Amino acid sequence: MSCRAAILISGSGTNLQAFIDAVAAGSLELDLCVVFSNNPNAFGLQRAEKAGIPTACIEHGDFSDRESFDRAVIEELDRWNPELLILAGFMRILSPTFVKHYEGKVLNIHPALLPKYPGLNTHQRVLDAGDKWHGSTVHFVTEELDGGPRILAGRLRVDPNETAEELLHRVQTIEHQVYPEAAGLVGSGRVAFNDGQAWIDGKVADEPIVRTFP
């Protein structure tokens, strides 16, 4: 039985599409049980419907605070019994209640080589700093924003002449490979969250697995 995974989106869902394609191609063993969005206009919902995956949507604007929205999301998601929650461009900060409820089960991808550049606008910050390497990191979600234990990072060389927009596109392309790979490792049990740390093949992982791309 493959691991039941819910994917949470707010927008275009190119990462969601990468998961759909990897499962269809047989290179990823996950049961994509539901795609959830806080935005009814998220294009990713259409991608899910086209792939025959159930969808659910709760608009955060209908709630007066984060806590009550998150409680409603928990109630909805729990109906699908997910073993793994995959944040794929889900543009809501999760409350401690949500993080605790799904401790060790939530993955995020952040477009930077964490711990560098948590937060927004990462591509421009990398260019401004003159960094040689940039990329994207898959990590377990904890209460610290973009700060949970890292699992797998995809990296590429920065061309100092490229724009932030060009860099964003290159990083997104590698995300579509590293995110399904990382989720597959968690789904199969090779990577786990325990005692606040990531474990890879039974050993505490101080550093993530790193893939280098052209």
- Known catalytic residues are 110
Q: Residue 136 or 142: which CB sits closer to ligand GRF?
A: 136
Minimum distance from CB of 41 to ligand GRF (Å)?
A: 13
- Judged by CB under 6 A, the residue of 175, 178, 193, 208 near ligand GRF is 175
Q: Residue 25 or 120: which CB sits closer to ligand GRF?
A: 120
- Judged by CB under 6 A, the residue of 3, 6, 15, 48 near ligand GRF is 15
Neighbours of 36 (CB within 10 A): 25
C-alpha–C-alpha distance, residues 3 and 166, integer Å: 35
Q: Residue 89 or 180: which CB sits closer to ligand GRF?
A: 89
What does the per-residue mask of binding to ligand GRF show for 51-90, with x meaning CB under 6 A? -------------------------------------xx-
Neighbours of 190 (CB within 10 A): 12
If binding is defined by CB under 6 A, does position 12 make contact with ligand GRF? yes
Strand locations in 10-69, DSSP E? 30-37, 55-57
Minimum distance from CB of 202 to ligand GRF (Å)?
A: 29
If binding is defined by CB under 6 A, does position 146 make contact with ligand GRF? no
Long-range contacts of 185-191 (CB under 8 A, 24+ apart): 185/151, 185/152, 185/209, 186/3, 186/84, 186/107, 186/151, 187/2, 187/3, 187/5, 187/28, 187/29, 187/30, 187/83, 187/84, 188/3, 188/29, 191/151
If binding is defined by CB under 6 A, does position 137 make contact with ligand GRF? no
Backbone angles phi, psi at 26, to 5 degrees: 85, 5
Q: Residue 1 or 46: which CB sits closer to ligand GRF?
A: 46
State the residues that interact with ligand GRF by CB under 6 A: 9, 11-16, 88-89, 109-111, 136, 172, 175
